Every structure is written in structure tokens, then in C-alpha cells.
Chains A and B, each alone.
Chain A
Amino acid sequence: MNKKIIFQTGSALISILLTALITFGFLFILGRDPVVIFGRIFSEVFGTGYGFAQTLFKTTPLIISGCAIAICFHAKLFNIGGEGQINAGAFVMALTATSFPGLPFLIILPLSILTGFIVSAVFGFIPAVIKVKKGVSEVITTIMLNFISLAMVNYFLISHFAVESTIRTTKIPENFFFTKLSDFIPSFHGSPLNITLFIALLLALIIYFTIYKTSIGYKLRAIGFNPVASVYMSVNVNKYTIVAFVLAAGMMSFVGLNYIFGYKGFYEYGFSANIGFTAIAVSLLARNNPIGIIFSAFLFGFLDYGGLAVNELVPKEIMLIFQGLVVLSILGVNKLTDNYLKINLERN
């Protein structure tokens, strides 16, 4: 068992190394010194408190969305609709937080989380029901729902809720903001890194526990491994398909916490910056293991912030290429380690 985890972690590390090598090659061809550039990235991220905090700030939403995607992946469901789910939920979350002046924070916060969760969950419920009832692939429906969700949010925002001549909602009261970590660690000063990070870590632990240690998790994974056998083992496949999608989509709304309560205080169109898609890569890299997702989210946060830090030296796109390559190489290397493990297990 442990051997397996070591091998799988190893294969993730090999993929990252492989990708780094290819990226080195790219930079070399572009006529840049890869050592200088990567050195700069490392010193920015690990050398300064601010850089490290910024990286963690970028990591936070990726942990949340990565775990959400992982729930679906375990049931062999492909949720490509993260982006739409995040925006719909976060938008409503921000609206809720500003719609009841006078109510205390301790009521507003859970209320906002709840409404955000419900709205995001609806965007997961729809493709799940269409899949269960009519057998339509969730890949298609979730992609389409991204357009619908983003267009709806855009419409309601511009025509009703946006602050004049902006594309954002009104700001929540100052006392609603989450505590920033720079309050405790002075070197983080200037970074919006906030307690959402701990919420994200807690979520990862909860999802890990649910997936690997509870009968619900076993059922979710069972319908992914073998839906027919699941039926005969009296697992309600339709029910768990919907449960997986609703949980995953609902969880996507929590991405909004980091931005709305932790950083800006409002919802702004486009804030999610494709987190819903990056989450797929984050989850894949970690083989959908929520603990692993914490680390792979950190890698993507690192690349994201690192890319910004060396912006004047190389185009930021290099880091996007890196992200894409990581996914490709992890898929390839995983296949190799899987084959190796399979042969080894068979021999034993």
C-alpha cells in the first residue's frame, strides 16, 4: 500500500522534472538563461515573505476547486463546468453578503456560503440529472453550462447589480473581511493571504476522509470503477452521480471566499481566471487524492506567481506552457508506473 503511494508520488515528481527539463529547453531556444530565470522564480517565492504569501494566496482557490473536481473524478465523472459554477456561486455569495445591511457578520457569512453553494450546486445538478435521465455525456453539458452561467452572471451584473461603470458588485463592509495572515506574520505584509487558506486545507482533509474512509466515498468510487457491479451491490448509481456533482459544484463556490471575503470585498467579472479549468490539471497531477492536491495546487500557485515575478524576463505564457506540459507528462509517466505496479502486483 505504502509502496504504491511512494511510486505514485515518485511518478509525479518525475513528471515535474521532465517538464522542467523541456521548459529549460524552451527558454534556451528563446535565448534566455533558464538557470537565471528559475533562480529568480525560486528566490521570489521562497526568498521573500511576500512572495511566499502570494503563492499561497494563489494556491488557496486551487486547493478548493481541485478537491471539488476530484470528487467527480473519483466517480469517473468529468466536470468541465467548474468555471461557470465558480462564477455563479461567487456572484450570488457577494450579492448575499451585501444585501442585508444591519445583519451581523456571523449570520451573513453562513448565509452567503449557503446561497453561493446552492447556486453553484444547481449548475452541477443540471448536468447530473440530464446524464442520469437521458444518458447525455456530462462533458458536453458542463461545457455548455459554462457559457450559460457566465452569460447569466454577466447579464445580471451589468444590468442590475454592478457599481456604475465597473463590472463588479458593491463592496462588503470592512468588518466582514477575513483576518489576513500578515496580521500574525509581519513578513507577509502586503499580501491578501487570509484564513481561507485554512478553510481550503480543512476542506481537503474532509474530502480526503470522506472519499477514502467512509462508505459514501467507497460508493462514489465504486460507481466510477464499475457501475454495473455497483448496481448489483445495491449502490444507487444515479443517486451517487447526482451527489458527486452537487457536492463538487457546490464546493466550487467556496473559491469565492478567498476573493470576496479575503481580498477585494466584491465579486468582479472574470475574477476566477480559469481556475475552474486549472483545477482539472491540479486534480489529475495529484491522482485526485485531496492530500496530493494540496501539493499540486501549490505547484500551480508557484508557477502562477513565479510567472508574474519573471514577467519582465520571459513572457508569462512560458508558465502556461509549463502547466500544460506537466499534465501531459504526468499522464504519460502515470501510465508507465501503473504498468510497472500492475506487473509487480501480478508477480506477487
Chain B
Amino acid sequence: MIPAIEFKNITKQFGNLKANDNVSFAIRKNSVHCILGENGAGKSTLMKILYGAYQPDSGKLFVDGKQQNFHTPHDAINAGVAMVWQHFMLIDDFSVLENVILGNEPISGIKIDFKTAQKKINDVITKFNLGLNPDDKVEKLSIAEQQKVELLKILYRKPSIIIFDEPTAVLSPVEVDEFFNIITKLKDSGNTIILITHKLREVIQIAERVTVLRQGKKVYEAEATEIDEDILGKEIVGDSSFEIASETKLETDGEKKVAILEKAGLSSGGYSKLNDINLVLRAGEISGICGVEGNGQNEIVDILLQLLSVENGTAELNYSSVSVVPDDRIKKGMISEYTIGENVITRKMGFEIALKAKLKKLSEILIKSYDIRTPDYFTPMGNLSGGNQQKAIVAREIENQSELIIFSHPTRGVDLKSSLFIHDEIIHVRNSGRAVLLVSSDLDELFKLSDRLIVLYNGQTVKEYEPLELKSRLKDAESFTVEVGKLMVGAGIE
């Protein structure tokens, strides 16, 4: 059978860096194919070549057996290749329908034919069970729903090959299952799916075939039935340093209570955002908050940062200083135009004179001790890869020596090696006697790091696992996952 896509000796070079080095492999028609690799392994470059955003320096690309030279994404779309980006490109003030037809409006006479559009869109929604209402405004939708709108936008144009760039990075476990159902449906209706991801468990769950890239080269390829997480982990990282961090959990409560939220409530724009939040953060302890995104996590973080104040109940904030690694690194975490050192200086409270030498010193210390990969210390942070940006933000916030440090989705979209590094750093912070709040939608991460776990649903803390209980429950991680997963979606709440 002719493969849907075939890469033949693709090489792409940026300056001295070979982003893709003689990469060859094929993707079967009507299959789910995962591409794995660390940040900077060359996945994005390869996909950009497939999507027409880059042209290879050498090598050939075949789509459906035909050699293609995509010069623009437009060419790729015409050939049936479509991409769902990690960062959504939606217009918040438009409805789902308006977003979907933008740039491809059906016309009758001089006006847009909304009726035809509506019918077409509803057909797609029903066919793939997307559960969207075309008239809803995008700004009101959750992240998972916005992702479906992105997908809808693409399906509306009837592609045959769909690339997903880290689609599950922003989803909770329940949403991931739902997303996989959609993938299965897409495949059943004849599409070829390419997934780029960091999450090994998902790969094993959904993929049929797997390709691993490392430092621009293809290093591994296998059928999903032949692999497990260990094999993949080793292939991705490329050395044997891959292992799950050792057990370091607490068995008793941390000493000092640095923040106490009691029956805390908060509303915004007429909607209740938080009600009945009970949360105690203790020095020398990692409190994990798990929940589907949008259930009050951001509001809790903002209260702790004193950007919001509670309307009901009490919030006792006893810490003298607080640092945060925010959930959205580009929007909230950094000034992209600034270098690492400049980001640090901006973060400092007092007046400082920041001459070149000082900035250099500041950055070089962080670059060295946090293993941030950057061409030089004066490269703007916006030019670093996602994982390195995240490491720089983590470094900046940890170095701030605050009494409380909040990590909100600290490893989202970050490669395996960097993730492990960041996890180690979080544990160090805890061991140095500071209070840590960990907000995440990645259960593995929460289970690995948390000393205490709080489940959040609909602005309420529905369950709290004390350190000792958590530790014993984690011995049977599988059934514990099921239990927490249920609590996260509000099942089993009286």
C-alpha cells in the first residue's frame, strides 16, 4: 500500500544546527502515528516541513505517493494536510461558527450563507461527536472545547491527514479520554493521524506506530505492540539516566501553616468561581491540587498572589513572600523580548542598577545551575525552546527564595528530561523548608510530587488526602487514579 506520507532523507539546517538530519520514515494510511522526542529533537521542524512552513534543504517528501514541495501552508492544506496547533488561533469575540468559516465563507450573492455553513458544521459536529454549539462564543468555552473548535475548523475543510501538536498538554484525564475517542472516530472515517506528544502512557494507549527523533535524527521506530514506557523513555533521552525519581514523600504534616483558606468563596462577572475552598499550605510540604482545568485553580493562585481577594470565608496569608511559576509561560511567565537576566532584574522588588556585567553574571549562574540551553546569555527568552523557557522561569522563581512557591502546570509542554529536572527542583524547594503549591492536570506528576493532595471540582475542595493516607493509597496507583479521576468530574459527591 502507498503510505500516506513518506519522508525521504529530509535534512534541514539552521546555521550550524541540523534540526533534521537525514530523516526517513513512512506513515501508513489510515493509522495513528506518534512522533516522540525531546524539545529541540526536530519534531516541530519536520512537521513544519510537512505543513509547508519550512522547505527542506535536501530530501524528498511524498504525500499519497506523490512528491510534494509545499511552499506555504496553503499548499499543504490543498493537498489535504492540516495541523491543529498547540497554541490556539481563535478569535474570542466570534462564535464557533464564525471562527470555523473565517477565510472560507460560503457565499450566496453578496452575503455569507450562514444557513449552509451552519448545516455543514452541524454535520461535522454530529459525525465526530464533538458536542459543540456553533452559536457559542469562543471566549465562553473551556480549553478543551476551544481545542475542539480548532479541530472543527480543520475538519470543515475535509483534510485527509491531520497533525496534532501536543494536543493533550492542556487536557485533564477525562478530557484526554474524550479526545482519544475523537481520534478513533477520525481514523475510522479514513483519516491519517499524526500525534506529537511527550506523554508516553498516551502513546502506548493510542498509537499504532511510533517514531522517535533525537538531536535531529530518527533513532527508533516500532509498532506500538512492541514497546513499553521504559523502552520509549530510553530512546527519547538517549542515555540510561531515565528513571522515575525515588520515593521522598513526607509522612507527617509540615510544621508551619503559611496559608489557610477557610470556606473561601469568590465570584466574577455574576458567576461563582470559588465556593467552599478549604486549603492549608504548610512549610516543607508540597500540596498538590488536582482537578479539571477551570475549576478554580487559577483563582486560588490569584488569591495567594493577592491579585484577587476572597468574598466569603477567610484567607489567612502568613507568608512574607511568594513566587509563582504561572500556568501559561508565554502570557504570564516572562517578557519574551527580555533576556534571562533582564527577566530576573524585572522580577526583583527593589531598585537596582543593571549593567551588562551584572546581567551577565545573573544569567550565567542560572544558565549553569539550571542547565538552560541558550546560544548565549543575551538571547531574548522568546527565542528559547519551550522547555528552556520553562526552566528559566522555574530558576528565576526558585532563586527568589520566597516562603511560598506556586508551581502551576510546571512541566506542561516540557520534554521528559527537563520535566524530571524541574521535578527534582520542586522537591529541593520542599526540602529546604519552603511551602510548595503544585497545580497540575497531569496526575502522574501530582502523584509523584505531592505530599498532600487536594481534589478540586467546581470551585470546591471535594477531597483532601493527608500525607500518610496519600502515601499508602499510592501503593495501588491504578485504582487510586480511577478514584481521583471520578472525584475530578464530580462523581461521588453528595
Contact = CB atoms under 8 A, between A and B. Distances in A.
Interface of A: 1, 213-216, 218-219, 221-222, 225-226, 228-235, 345-348
A346 B334 CA distance: 18
A225 B355 contact: no
A265 to B, nearest CB: 39
A232 B326 CA distance: 7
Interface stretch (B233-241, B251-259, B335-343): B335-343
B337 A225 contact: yes
B271 interface: no
Nearest to A231: B307
Interface in B290-317: 305, 307
13 contacts: A1-B378, A214-B351, A214-B354, A218-B345, A222-B338, A225-B335, A226-B331, A228-B331, A229-B331, A229-B334, A231-B332, A232-B332, A235-B346
B353 interface: yes
Contacts of A228: 331-332
B383 interface: yes
B349 A213 contact: no
Contacts of B15: 347-348
Given A215-B354, A233-B334, A233-B346, 16 more contacts: A213-B354, A215-B352, A215-B353, A218-B345, A218-B346, A225-B337, A225-B338, A226-B334, A226-B335, A228-B332, A229-B331, A230-B346, A231-B307, A345-B383, A346-B383, A347-B14
B353 A213 contact: yes
A222 to B, nearest CB: 5
Contacts of A1: 378
Given A234-B347, A346-B383, A347-B15, A229 B354 contact: no
Contacts of B131: none
A213 B355 contact: yes
Given A214-B352, A214-B354, A347-B15, A232 B324 contact: yes
A310 to B, nearest CB: 42
A221 B337 CA distance: 10
A60 B307 CA distance: 43
Contact of A229 (B14, B333, B375): B333
Nearest to B325: A232
A4 to B, nearest CB: 10
B350 interface: yes
B348 interface: yes
A229 B393 CA distance: 11
Interface of B: 14-15, 305, 307, 324, 326, 331-338, 342-343, 345-355, 375, 378, 380, 383
A215 B351 contact: yes
A180 B351 CA distance: 37
Contacts of B335: 221-222, 225-226, 229-230, 233
A214 B346 CA distance: 9
B349 A234 contact: yes
Contacts of A346: 14, 383
Contacts of A218: 338, 342, 345-346, 354
A219 B336 CA distance: 14
A231 B322 CA distance: 13
Nearest to A212: B354
Nearest to B307: A231
Contacts of A214: 351-354
A347 B349 CA distance: 35
A214 B353 CA distance: 4
A229 B331 CA distance: 6
Choose among B15, B346, B383 the residue with the greatest number of A CB atoms under 10 Å from its CB: B346
A348 B383 CA distance: 9
A255 to B, nearest CB: 28
A348 B375 CA distance: 8
Nearest to B358: A213
B393 to A, nearest CB: 9
Nearest to A347: B14
A232 B333 contact: yes
Q: Can you list the 5 inter-chain pairs with the closest CB atoms, starting with the nearest?
A: A215-B352, A218-B346, A232-B332, A233-B347, A222-B346
A210 to B, nearest CB: 10
Contact of A226 (B305, B336, B342): B336
A213 to B, nearest CB: 6
A288 to B, nearest CB: 13
A215 B350 contact: yes
Nearest to A218: B346
Contacts of B331: 226, 228-229
B332 A225 contact: no
A213 B324 CA distance: 25
A218 B336 CA distance: 13
A173 to B, nearest CB: 39
A341 B305 CA distance: 37
B383 A232 contact: no
Contacts of A215: 345-346, 348, 350-354
B384 to A, nearest CB: 12
A348 B307 CA distance: 38
Nearest to B341: A218
Nearest to A210: B353
Choose among A1, A213, A218 the residue with the greatest number of B CB atoms under 10 Å from its CB: A218
A214 B342 CA distance: 10
Nearest to A209: B353
B336 A232 contact: no
Contacts of B326: 229, 232
Choose among A221, A222, A233 the residue with the greatest number of B CB atoms under 10 Å from its CB: A233
Contacts of B336: 225-226
